[in-house]
Structure 1
Amino acid sequence: MDDENQMQLERLRTVLEVARRNGNQLFIDNIEREIAALERGDCSPIVEEYLTEEERS
């Protein structure tokens, strides 16, 4: 995993802690999906869902 992805992963983990404290289950689920994708080396599920191929480039 490169440094950029590692930094993104750390930011997501911080946001996940806040979401858990606030009890926002939808946000928790989405962040956990993002973290799992990054750990597998996959593209962000949110990016894939909401951006076109052109917008991702």
Structure 2
Amino acid sequence: MITESLCIAAISHLRQRLLDDMAVRRFSQGTQRNYLRDVGRFAMFLGRLGVTN
């Protein structure tokens, strides 16, 4: 079972990895903000967080 703190840490790691990847690809700040927003919306649509067992 994944605890809430472990889940938050995993999400923070994935979020930072996404930000790092977008920075390497020279995405603008606006594009990065939009990607993060849309990933969050997609997770809400799926009804779960991005962490799987």
Structure with the larger helix share = 1
**What TM-score do you get using the length of structure 2 for normalisation?**
0.50
Structure number with greater CO (CA < 8 Å, separation at least 6) is: 2
